[in-house]
Structure formats: C-alpha cells, structure tokens
Amino acid sequence: MKEDSYDFQEFLEDYTETSSDKEIRIINAAINIFSEKGFESTRTREIAERAGVAEGTIFRYFPTKDAILERMVPLLIRVMMPRISEPIDRIIRAHEADSVEDIWFDILIDRIKMIRDNGRFIKSVLPELIHRAPLLHQFQTSILPMIEQYIEKIVEYGKARGELDSALSSRLVMQQMLGFILSYSMFGGSEKRNTEHDIREFLQYAMKGWSGSCKP
C-alpha cells in the first residue's frame, strides 16, 4: 500500500511560472498521492501533511480541491510537448543521415523512457480525465494533433527516401506506434525485459510490412 514519494520539485520549478515554494510543494505532494489512491480518495489534509503546510494554505493557492487537478493538466501538457517535438526536430536537423527505422527507434526509446520517468505524474492525471470531458478534451486537442502532424512528416520523409510504401497512410502508422507504446507500457514493461531489443524486433517486422520494395 505504501509507496515511496518521488520529488518533482526541481522539475516543477522549470514548468510552472510560480515562484512560490509552497505551491510547488503542494502540487508535488498531490501528484504523489493522486497516483497512489486517485483523486477522489485523496484528502486535502493528507496533501497538506505530505507537503508540510497547513491545510488552509492549500486553499490560499487553489480555490478548490478540483483546481489542483485542473492546474496539473496544462502542466502535463507542457511536460509532454517538448518531449514530443524535440526528437522530431532532431531528425529534421540530421535530415539525410538516418534511415526511417533508426529515427523511429530513437523516438520509441525516448517515448517509453518518458512514460517510465513520468509514470507517477501521468498516472495521477490521466485516469481522472476519463470522467471529466472538458479536461480530457483539453488534453486530446493539444497532444493528438501534434503527434499526428509529426508522424505525417516522418512518413512523407520515408516515402521520399523510398523506404515506405507510397500507399501507406500516416493514420495507420500512428495507430501502430501508439498501440505499441500503450501495450508495451501497460503490459510488456513490467518484467525486466530488454527494451531496445523489443523495439528493434517490433520495428524490423513493422518496417518489412510498410516498405514499398521487398527485401527478404
């Protein structure tokens, strides 16, 4: 039942514009407890205790308990955005050097690492969005189109290099990539597997299917 606490302190300082130490301590505590027991089962008293502040202090920074969660969503978006755009931008920089397979390898490694590193943060926010349509919508409309757009870029790049079938739709590729990341993070990653090997294996079969030419 008892899990260790993770410290997002420094991390949060980079992503919030607040200078208040207390506010960050409150969010930090909330992330940890939400991820353990979920939003509804978490008591504001508990957040205060773990943050080392008085319960009243929470309500100086957040009008309601709900507001803590609402504040986390844009924060999660801000954390994920650069983790999505940076690797793709790396590709554009090293444009002609790499094969599409190598590009995807780097992206998948990075994405699975991100989910592991920020697992607690993601687990504290995402499950609560299921029954909160406005927050879910906020999240989806800022993250999904961005991913879509970047995947499209890579697919076009791969087609231009002749590495991908010209009829291949980027929607299908996105589906496959999201699917792999999802199922790997949910089921595959729990055991001590060799992630790099698993990704290579997945990509070799996927690329063979997606390639225009046939190299057996």
CB-based contact 17:78 (threshold 8 Å):
no
Binding track, positions 18-47, relative to DNA; x by CB under 7 A: --x-x-------------------xxxx--
Least distance in angstroms from the C-beta of 23 to a second copy: 25
Binding partner of 53, given DNA, a second copy, none, CB within 5-8 angstroms per partner class: DNA
Q: Find the binding residues for DNA in span 48-77 (CB under 7 A).
A: 53-57, 59-60, 63-66
Binding partner of 182, given a second copy, DNA, none, CB within 5-8 angstroms per partner class: a second copy
Least distance in angstroms from the C-beta of 44 to DNA: 4
Site of interaction with DNA (CB under 7 A): 20, 22, 42-45, 53-57, 59-60, 63-66
